Structure 1
């Protein structure tokens, strides 16, 4: 198994966002969109972290009580950019209430039924927990986070043309599923790493983030001992892995057009606003231009 690079990559905070529990983000032009796993909205910011707008994904309000909010939230954990600049937000699938997605096209939102696909995936994983997604060549790659029973980190490969056809009908079906690729991640300070997001850099390389959270549940949070940034080759093998400093639970990763990454963290505390970070250099062994 690949070992961590000797020198951590240093995160530099750019801004503090207007939401907590940030879970995914995607750059579009001179802005980025960010999701929170305990909210019903998408927020748009400038690349420097200035708030610009908010888009409602689902109607209604979530309870302020932490336990009730956790039980009822849609748990949007993955956000990806699709052709024609549409956006797709996905629930984690970790409970029956978390199997909805939202397709955003030209500011309009359509709710997507993820149950047909997620039921098929539940046959492969002890605890389904989709935490990231990205379009990579003619496929959609989903990140299955192995922080539940079995520690099953994996990449779920979907057929992009079938995904686009399914979305026209308001769902994602089992027909999109091509294959599942298990991903073996090491421990960080004695705690197993688990996937949190995927992103493709402008030079075509596929990157992922993972965090080490002391829990054996896809539902309950635990203490985070750190996060890493990794790179995968075209065969989806891990070829580079670097620790990130300081210690935060990185849940979202995207790249600007100039190659600079943006990352968001979740403190698992609704009173703490999510920080936005960048990495001033992606030096070897992580970056491969």
Structure 2
């Protein structure tokens, strides 16, 4: 396993966002789309973090009190851009209520039933917790976060053509191709677990992971830091970069010029999520 002490980069904050529990982001041209795991909306920002607009994903309101809000939130943890530029938001699947997704096209939103897929995946993991997703090399990849029992980090490969057909019917079925376990190291004695996936302009596949002191996919814990990693075409880790300061990185995206954007969640509704970038990231060349 790669030595984290050999590769460290400093996060540079660009802005403070209007959501406190940022969980996923996607860059499309000059727009940055942002999700929070405890909100019912999708927000749009400029690439520098200036707020632009908000779109309701699910109707209703959530309690202000954090303890009351937690069991009722949809827990949107993954956001990805489909080949036709529609956006797909995914719940984590960590509870029955969190098995909904939203397909966003222009000003329309369609609720997607994730239960068929998530029920199939639940047979492979002790605690299902989908935290990221991306379209890559003609497949749809999902990040299974191993912060629960068993510490099962994995990349789930889905048949993209099957996924696109399913979405027209308002659901995701068991379009499973493969599950690739991912062995991550510990950070200060705390296991790292996946939080997002993103593809750089070169085609390189990156992931973010955070070390959170919890043994539950439902309960939060103290965060001791995060890393940025790169996977090869076999989904083996080829690069691992320690990020400083120690924050809980939950979302990762790349701009067209190759610069990464990252968001963090402080697990505190009174703290606005920061938007970061990284200077000096040495991106691997596209794999042949």
TM-score range, shorter-chain basis?
Answer: over 0.9
Cα deviation, 1:69-114, whole Å, max 9, x if unaligned, reads 0000000000000022100000000001000000001221000000
Give the alignment of 1:88-237 within 5 angstroms: 88-174=88-174, 176-237=175-236
TM-score (norm 1): 0.98
Distance (whole Å) between structure 1 residues aligned to residue 32 and residue 115 of structure 2:
28
| 1:259 paired to 2:258 | yes
Q: Is the 1:147–1:216 Cα contact (8 Å) retained in structure 2? A: yes
Q: 1:8 offset after TM fit, Å?
A: 1.1
The offset of 1:5, in angstroms, is 4.9
The two structures have a TM-score, normalised by structure 2, of 0.98
- How far off is 1:137 after superposition? 1.1
Match of 2:284 in 1: 288
CA contact (8 A) 1:5 1:241 kept: no
| Distance in 2 separating the partners of 1:242 and 1:85 | 30
* 5+ long unaligned stretches in structure 2: none
Match of 1:35 in 2: 35
Q: Distance in 2 between matches of 1:104 and 1:272?
A: 28
Matching residue of 2:48? 48
Counterparts in 2 of 1:55-70, with a 5 A limit?
A: 55-70=55-70
SS at match of 2:212: strand
CA distance in 2, matches of 1:191, 1:146: 12
Contact 1:130–1:145 at 8 Å: present in 2 too? yes
Q: 1:212-248 CA distances to partner (integer Å, 9 max, x unpaired)?
A: 0000000000000000000000010001101000010
In the alignment, is residue 75 of structure 1 matched against residue 75 of structure 2?
Answer: yes
Asked if the contact 2:197–2:207 (Cα under 8 Å) also holds between the matched residues in 1, the reply is yes
Contact 1:207 1:232 in 2 (8 A): yes
Aligned pairs, how many? 285
Distance 1:32 1:18 in 2: 13
Segments of 5+ residues of structure 1 without an aligned counterpart are: none
Counterpart Cα distance in 2 of 1:5 and 1:141: 29
Query: Is the contact between residue 15 and residue 275 of structure 1 (CA under 8 Å) also seen in structure 2?
Result: yes
The ranges of structure 1 where at least 4 consecutive aligned residues each deviate by more than 3 angstroms after the TM superposition are none
Distance in 1 (CA, whole Å) between partners of 2:7 and 2:166 is: 44
